[in-house]
Structure 1
Amino acid sequence: MNDAAPAWRNLLDDQATAVAGLISQLLPKRLHELGPEQARALVNSAPSAEPITRLDHVEQLTVPTRTGAIAARLYRADGAGSRGPGPTLVYLHGGGFVLGTLDGADELCRAIAAGSGWTVVSLEYRLAPENKYPAALEDCIDAYTWLARSAPDLGIDPAQIAVGGDSAGGNLATALCLYRREKGDTLPVAQVLAYPAVDDGFTRPSWSDFADAPLLGAAEGRWFWEQYTGAGHPGGDPLAAPMHAESLRGLPPALIITAEVDPIRDDAEAYAQRLREDGVPVSSTRYRGVFHGFFTEVTVFAQAKHAVEEVCQYLRELSRG
């Protein structure tokens, strides 16, 4: 047996190394070996009794969709309501389309609202494999439409709605933009994407370089994709894997954040390059020393705090025009 440490381990900073060790202790198997229910039980975050970032206004919403309703959570920065309808970020959590909850993105959404002055609306879309593609995307499409239509009642400026998400949530955010572009609907003012899962080829070098990276490796990536689309999905669908879109021209400006040790890294950075080539303004930052999933852990990783600060600055500048 070869017990040599993987080459990528030397790329991790001290915080990421410690967290990677903790993950290996807490998870008896890799996520793809656990199955959806056990993975959810071990990975999904419990509600926080005392949030780190306190806001005056956090509201639970029920958002109607074509199949019923989904839960959402609205975060408003202190004092923002007194200034009238304001800019809003619709946030879609990650989790490989299988994992993730509103609670898992709670502290991140609080930090973005407090730091940017934007309202944040976090959506709890349906998960796979119980609800396969396009269920999650349909929830996001319907929720975004409802939020834009209900903006006056929610204190939202309908002309200043951005969309964002991490990992699978980044996929859904990009697909939402593609869908609205094709329908001729008003687009979000921006896309804020953390290591978005935009391709289904699993062929770029980072998929082999970080095949056994902490939390998300190559086997997990393929497993999550099969849970979402089904083993028989033919591929090539741009609303499932946005990299397949013939053109990205006309999509909203994007901020794209990637992690150095992440199988998805090269796909996300290739997507950023395609956006640039198609004339879409893009800001892209690779955060060194961290692995997939770092962005939402704002109380754990210093790099996550820096990334959130970058997002907040981007949104502040966006609202100033």
Structure 2
Amino acid sequence: MPKPLPPHGERLDADALLVAMTLAEAMPTPVRELGAEAARRLFATAPPDRPLTPLDRVDELTVPTRSGPLRARAYHPPGPPAAGPRPALMYLHGGGFVLGTLDGVDEVCRAMAARSGWAVLSLEYRLAPEHPYPAALEDSFDALAWLRGSALEHGIDPDTIAVGGDSAGGNLAAALCLRLRDLGLALPASQVLVYPAVDDAFARASWREFADAPLLTSADARWLWEQYVGTDPEAVDPYAAPMRAASLRGLPPALVLTAEVDPLRDDAEAYAERLEGDGVRVTRIRHSGVFHGFFTEVGVFAKTDAAIDDVVRHLRGVAAARAATTSAS
């Protein structure tokens, strides 16, 4: 007798359907009931002995921050050394502010570096509930400052550094851009937001339509959010929930990627619309047939490969625009 389809199975492509069915068996208990420690053990992944995208150079780094040293990993594009410093993407992993590690995004960082020609710095920021808001944002802020200050010694162009991330990492990237703008500091070259968590209202239609979506349900998303910011909506500011910002004007150009079957989908797409409305150049792409989390699963979803190519095209366009501006001046 065939197994019943998981929720929204009829909307998933073949890769996503297979993963959804596997997850249903492997995760009979919701994340919110497992708790942080058990969920971390369940989701812990070690990189394979032979990565799908081998690189000539991957550096394990320690980044100094106000809270102490943090682990980071720098991925250098393959091939001969560049004639000059390279552009770089500072990447912030997802995991609902509670989960996530450097290893969990190792393959996607390798792929982005190999295909784009950009260096990628992946940061292991502090996690909630042990370190609630604004710990992760402070870590991201300090890491970007460090990267800019030490860029040349790592072969990186300090004037062409973008920030990006998936889910919670997308939230941090968006919030970091807002914070830098409000402080009058140099902005990143771009922001790469992959199904970012940007609103704390949980009110748009996708929260109801995909409340029982694979991997991330609406109830689990709310629980993860509460570990990060608590349960008092009055305590939430725009650097926790970027949709709360009075204006998004003056922010860096953005790429916003979303998944069709995802409670966060409508919030992320509404944020992209607000960016456009406030004069920010935005590329919006929705990937059909997949659910939250697909972006980092290299070799599992065909749509992962397509989404990485979206990021690569965007980063190459940013670099080309920067180069044109520099040569014109």
Smaller-chain TM-score bracket:
over 0.9
Give the match for residue 139 of structure 1.
139
Q: C-alpha separation between the residues in 1 aligned to 2:191 and 2:173?
A: 7
Give the match for residue 25 of structure 1.
25
Give the match for residue 116 of structure 1.
116
Give the match for residue 252 of structure 2.
252
Give the match for residue 261 of structure 1.
261
| CA drift at 1:82 | 3.2
Considering only aligned residues, what root-mean-square deviation do their CA atoms show, in Å?
A: 1.4
Q: C-alpha separation between the residues in 1 aligned to 2:290 and 2:36?
A: 25
Distance 1:104 1:7, change over 3 A: closer
- Note the residue ranges of structure 1 that are not aligned, 5 or more in a row: none
Q: Is the 8 A contact 2:187 2:252 kept in 1?
A: yes
Distance 1:278 1:186, change over 3 A: same
Q: C-alpha separation between the residues in 2 aligned to 1:243 and 1:112?
A: 27
Q: Is the 8 A contact 1:48 1:103 kept in 2?
A: no
Q: Given the alignment of the two structures, is residue 55 of structure 1 paired with residue 55 of structure 2, yes or no? A: yes
Alignment of 1:195-234 (within 5 A): 195-232=195-232, 234=234
Q: C-alpha separation between the residues in 2 aligned to 1:224 and 1:125?
A: 16
Q: Is the 8 A contact 1:30 1:215 kept in 2?
A: no
Give 1:258's aligned amino acid: T
Q: Is the 8 A contact 1:74 1:121 kept in 2?
A: yes
Alignment of 1:288-303 (within 5 A): 288-303=288-303
Q: C-alpha separation between the residues in 2 aligned to 1:67 and 1:7?
A: 42
Q: C-alpha separation between the residues in 2 aligned to 1:176 and 1:236?
A: 15
Q: Is the 8 A contact 1:200 1:241 kept in 2?
A: yes
Distance 1:25 1:180, change over 3 A: same
Give 1:130's aligned amino acid: E
Give the match for residue 71 of structure 1.
71
Give 1:252's aligned amino acid: P
* SS of structure 2 residue aligned to 1:67: coil
Give the match for residue 178 of structure 1.
178
Distance 1:146 1:27, change over 3 A: same
Q: Is the 8 A contact 1:298 1:304 kept in 2?
A: yes
Give 2:238's aligned amino acid: P
Give 1:289's aligned amino acid: G
Alignment of 1:81-96 (within 5 A): 81-96=81-96
Q: Which whole-Å deviations, capped at 9, do the CAs of 1:2-22 have from their partners, x for residues lacking one?
A: x98676221111110110010
Residue-pair matches, total: 319
Deviates more, 1:267-276 or 1:29-38: 29-38
* SS of structure 1 residue aligned to 2:8: helix
Q: TM-score, normalised by structure 1?
A: 0.97
Give the match for residue 10 of structure 1.
10
Q: C-alpha separation between the residues in 2 aligned to 1:97 and 1:260?
A: 22
Q: C-alpha separation between the residues in 1 aligned to 2:291 and 2:305?
A: 14
Q: Which whole-Å deviations, capped at 9, do the CAs of 1:182-238 have from their partners, x for residues lacking one?
A: 110000010011000000000100000000100101101100000001223524410
| CA drift at 1:152 | 1.1
Give 2:33's aligned amino acid: E
Q: Given the alignment of the two structures, is residue 243 of structure 1 paired with residue 228 of structure 2, yes or no? A: no
Q: C-alpha separation between the residues in 2 aligned to 1:217 and 1:230?
A: 19
Give the match for residue 39 of structure 1.
39
* SS of structure 2 residue aligned to 1:83: coil
* SS of structure 2 residue aligned to 1:160: strand
Q: C-alpha separation between the residues in 1 aligned to 2:195 and 2:83?
A: 33
Give 1:281's aligned amino acid: R
Q: Is the 8 A contact 2:196 2:268 kept in 1?
A: yes
- Note the residue ranges of structure 2 that are not aligned, 5 or more in a row: 322-329
* SS of structure 2 residue aligned to 1:68: coil
| CA drift at 1:28 | 2.8
* SS of structure 2 residue aligned to 1:234: helix
Give 2:179's aligned amino acid: Y
Give 2:157's aligned amino acid: D
Distance 1:5 1:167, change over 3 A: same
Q: Is the 8 A contact 1:112 1:308 kept in 2?
A: yes
Q: Is the 8 A contact 2:93 2:123 kept in 1?
A: yes
| CA drift at 1:320 | 1.2
Q: Which whole-Å deviations, capped at 9, do the CAs of 1:86-133 have from their partners, x for residues lacking one?
A: 100000000000000000000000000000000000000000001000
Q: Given the alignment of the two structures, is residue 189 of structure 1 paired with residue 205 of structure 2, yes or no? A: no
Deviates more, 1:105-114 or 1:307-316: 307-316
Q: C-alpha separation between the residues in 1 aligned to 2:285 and 2:32?
A: 29
